[in-house]
Amino acid sequence: MKYRLLNSFLLFSLVCGLLFLFSCGSNRAETKKDIVAEPEKMNERVSDNIHDILDYASSNDGKTDDSTNLNLLQPIKDYYADNNYQRIWSKDENFLPLADSMMMFIKHAREYGLFPEDYHHHTLQSFYKRIVADSAAVGDRRDATLWSKADLMLTDAFFLIATHLRKGRLGVDSMYMNPDSTLTDSFYHKNLQTVLNTQSITGVFQALEPHHQGYFELKKALKGFLDSADFEKQFTYVSYPYKDSLKFIKTLIKRLNEEGLLLNRSENVDTVSLRDAILKVQKKRNLKADGKFGVQLIRSLNNSDAEKFKRIAINLDRYKVLPQKMPDRYIWVNLPSYTLQLWDNDSVKLESKVVVGNPKTRTPLLTSQISNMVTYPQWTIPNSIILKEILPALKHNPGYLAKKGYMLVKGDGELVDPFTVDWSKYKKGIPYNVVQGSGDDNALGVLKFNFPNKYAVYLHDTNQRYLFKRDGRALSHGCVRVEQWEKLTYYISRLDSLNYSADINRVPIDSIQSWLQRKEKHSVRVKSKLPVFFRYFTNTVKNGRIVFFEDIYNEDKVARETYFSNKQ
């Protein structure tokens, strides 16, 4: 008998243990309802549930259940702990107006270049419908767990939106670092408290946005884009250039199938059928019809409204890493648009076409200040060009330098005869400078603008001014060639004249004009230290509509695949 009792006890213990294990491994908040029969006890029970859910999330990497994750758990925990775990967005058995405003903001988050699903959109909408629609005495409206989870998700959404509006979603780059790049608990708590005090969600969020004209213009034009955008049909994104050729071909076939261009709907398509499908899409989209895939075809296939929106979102985020306040005057070079703008007190005083680096020798992103200008400069050729172009040519023919108008110079300025050098022994560099003398044929043209930077790049005139007539101008070795160099020169000179009129060392405008006429080399110190920004924006707004520029350095592609690949 006692053995039967012992076995029954062991069986009972085993069953209880299994039930405990299953309950611990289950979706805690989904399976456990907490129905409050007495309405006056709802607030207390919600607070208890918030405390328990946060404890659970702390031990489960921010997860409140299998489908929900709190993105900013620490500031959420700290805020609720400081406020005795009182709920924020509801009271008794009703959502507060602030909750309605918050859910409406999330629903229309695309107008800010944000993705609603990043902020628990569907889950919150589901909760809202369940709670509001439930009119029974006992049901979702009386479920303290449901109210607790909704409160935490709304707070998490608020904190995450505040983060994305302030500093964006792109990775931190030291070049862009500003005081707001690291957000502390006080940032989140202060802004949430402001909302509670002012009862205004939109006002607080708008105060966090960048104060840049380009940002506001792009955001305003985004509304028009969204009005006509079609996000219903999702197309497969094709990554190009690719590393895995087999994966690329399968993805391309899938994308062409979505266009209805392949009779064979499987992944196994023969070369002829694939070529015919590519020809059809090239003709349909007015591309060069050669039956071959390349960058233009892939960009065209990826040019859906969903992908355009991602590019807009990326560009809106690029404004968020600029200084909160730009200088009163500065030079702005936007590489994808091939333009230079001179900004003076919120207006463009000068705009010029530019030539920028080709993708293999790209122009870097940088921030600096104009330090000096040089009339009729010499060009000391960078080591990168020497290794790629000049050294191989010298090994073949030492007369290459004379043919190009270059000089071989020692560090002390002494000229070297290239025919006396054994070029075959050099592989990683040469112990000489290669210099092109000043003159109208110099690659730098007749004027150069210097500014400190680790990349050895600068703004300058060019002896190939015909290149400014081209639409695509990613053609240089990295420096930026300026069509309106003369207007920029005189603007800087006049600026120094106004700011430093009493300085006897200041170089007047007429002196610079005389040196240029006489083709003389002179260095002009710039005392006004005009800031220079080299940036990468592939969207702008013209006549109220968004214009897209070519992603010449694939920066949009990298940002899209790194931060937005799973967005719909």
Per-residue pLDDT tens digits for 228-244: 999 988 899 999 989 89
d(CA 56, CA 323): 39
| pLDDT reading at 121 higher than 80 | yes
Closest Cα partner for 509 from 530, 527, 494, 529?
Answer: 494
| pLDDT reading at 9 higher than 60 | no
Query: Is 479 one of the catalytic residues?
Result: yes
Lowest mean pLDDT across 378-392, 484-498, 529-543? 378-392
Exposure of 269 in the CB half-sphere (CA atoms within 13 A): 25
Do the beta carbons of residue 122 and residue 68 sit within 8 Å?
no
Closest Cα partner for 385 from 420, 335, 421, 435?
Answer: 435
| pLDDT reading at 16 higher than 50 | no
- pLDDT given at position 181: 58
Do the beta carbons of residue 274 and residue 253 sit within 8 Å?
yes
Q: What is the pTM of this model?
A: 0.87
When computed from its CA atoms, the radius of gyration of the chain, rounded to whole angstroms, is 32
Residue 9 token pair: 């006890």
Structural domains present in the chain: 26-209 (no CATH), 328-378+438-537 (2.40.440.10), 382-436 (no CATH)
The SS3 call for residue 369 is: strand
Question: Could you give the percent of the chain with pLDDT greater than 70?
Answer: 91
Q: What is the mean pLDDT of residues 527-542?
A: 95
Q: What is the mean pLDDT of residues 117-142?
A: 82
**Phi, psi for residue 354 in degrees, rounded to 5:** -135, 160
Helix boundaries (H) for 201-304: 201-208, 213-228, 245-258, 271-284, 295-301
Do the beta carbons of residue 372 and residue 486 sit within 8 Å?
no
Residue 231 token pair: 């996000």
pLDDT in tens, 397-412: 999 999 888 999 988 8
- pLDDT given at position 495: 92
DSSP states of 440-501: TTSTTTTEEEE---TT---EE--S-GGGGGSS--EEESSSEEETTHHHHHHHHHHHHHHHTT
d(CA 262, CA 280): 10
The SS3 call for residue 218 is: helix
Do the beta carbons of residue 464 and residue 385 sit within 8 Å?
no
- pLDDT given at position 18: 40
Q: What is the mean pLDDT of residues 323-345?
A: 95
- pLDDT given at position 547: 97
**Phi, psi for residue 429 in degrees, rounded to 5:** 160, 175
DSSP code of residue 387? I
| pLDDT reading at 131 higher than 70 | yes
d(CA 381, CA 299): 35
- Strand-pair category, 531-535 with 329-334: parallel
Residue 162: pLDDT band with limits 50, 70, 90: very high
The chain-wide mean pLDDT, for the chain, equals: 89
- pLDDT given at position 28: 43
| pLDDT reading at 502 higher than 60 | yes
d(CA 550, CA 101): 38
Residue 453: pLDDT band with limits 50, 70, 90: very high
Residue 105 token pair: 């903001």
Name 314's bridge partners.
Answer: none
Spatial neighbors of 319 by CB under 8 A, at least 6 apart, are 210, 212, 214, 215, 218
Q: Which secondary-structure segment (H or E) carries 508?
A: none
- pLDDT given at position 112: 98
**Phi, psi for residue 539 in degrees, rounded to 5:** -125, 145
Q: Which secondary-structure segment (H or E) carries 493?
A: helix 485-499
Between 265 and 301, the more confident residue is 301
- pLDDT given at position 211: 92
- Spot the catalytic one: 120, 164, 460, 477: 460
Do the beta carbons of residue 63 and residue 57 sit within 8 Å?
yes
Q: Which secondary-structure segment (H or E) carries 372?
A: strand 372-375
- Spot the catalytic one: 120, 164, 477, 479: 479
pLDDT in tens, 175-219: 554 545 578 999 999 999 999 999 999 999 999 999 999 999 999
Give long-range contacts, CB 8 A cutoff, 24+ apart: 432-435. 432/408, 433/380, 433/381, 433/408, 433/409, 434/380, 434/381, 434/386, 434/390, 434/401, 434/406, 434/407, 434/408, 434/409, 435/378, 435/379, 435/380, 435/381, 435/406, 435/407, 435/409
- pLDDT given at position 361: 92
Q: What is the mean pLDDT of residues 368-381?
A: 93
| Side chain identity, residue 495 | L
Q: What is the mean pLDDT of residues 42-60?
A: 95
Q: What is the mean pLDDT of residues 410-418?
A: 88
| pLDDT reading at 516 higher than 90 | yes
Residue 163 token pair: 């983060």
